Amino acid sequence: MPATSTNEDFVDAWERWHGGLRPLGFMMRWAEAPHWVRIHSLPESRRYPADAADRAELLRRQNAVAGDLLREGGAAFLVQSFWEAPDGGTPDTVVARRAAAVSRWGLSVAFDFIVDEDPDQPIRWTVMARPVTWHSGAFDPLLLLVAAGDEAPTLFMSADTGAVFAPYDGGADLFWPDAAAQAAARERYRPWLSAHPHGL
């Protein structure tokens, strides 16, 4: 994966911890990345917050699991990925979110990859990243945008362990550094897990 000078550390860390995987939570899950756990953001697996109380509960849960994965004050990378239609028909929302990744979140291009499940319609993804320090509450505006479905696919990766926190509109996919941490998380966050037999 070719790196830019500003994101060599991220590219190196991603290759070290997750070589062969793409940095999107749903693609990691599809590829059966190890030590995965999913939590839901709201009681009864409700997908979207309806009021301030729901938003507070969503942030409480997401900050709790992210702090467990990334550690308070821990070095991490904030990562977002953006797709482009091969015919130039990329939606305006995607274009706007990519612009916001630079202006609001301070991200820069790390690398691209192609998904060519349909050879006639290959999709290019551009991965953007920057180093961050995880602090509970510091990323609440971003988490709320993700929860509302108003952001690009987003994840945070620990620079120290490779653990990944990938929020989405409905919950978060968590990729722990080892099986022991995964098992402990399943027990610790049992009330927030899905009743689905596959953990979805």
Instruction: Identify the pLDDT of residue 120.
Output: 67
Kindly report the pTM of this predicted structure: 0.88
Q: Tokens 């192609």 belong to which residue?
A: 114
Q: Which two tokens stand for residue 92?
A: 């305006």
Q: What's the 3-state SS for 140-187?
A: HHHHHHHHCCCCCCEEEEECCCCCEEEEECCEEEEECCCHHHHHHHHH
Instruction: Identify the pLDDT of residue 173.
Output: 96
Q: What is the pLDDT along the chain (200 residues), one digit of tens a residue?
A: 443 345 889 999 999 999 889 999 999 999 989 999 999 999 988 989 999 999 999 999 999 999 999 999 999 999 999 888 767 666 677 777 777 777 788 898 999 888 776 666 778 889 999 999 999 999 999 999 999 999 999 999 999 999 999 999 999 999 999 999 999 999 999 999 987 655 54
Determine contact, residues 43/89, Cβ cutoff 8 Å: no
> Nearest-CA neighbor of 83 among 48, 123, 47?
123
> Nearest-CA neighbor of 127 among 159, 83, 186, 95?
83
Instruction: Identify the pLDDT of residue 55.
Output: 97
> Nearest-CA neighbor of 40 among 55, 26, 56, 61?
61
Q: Tokens 């860390």 belong to which residue?
A: 13
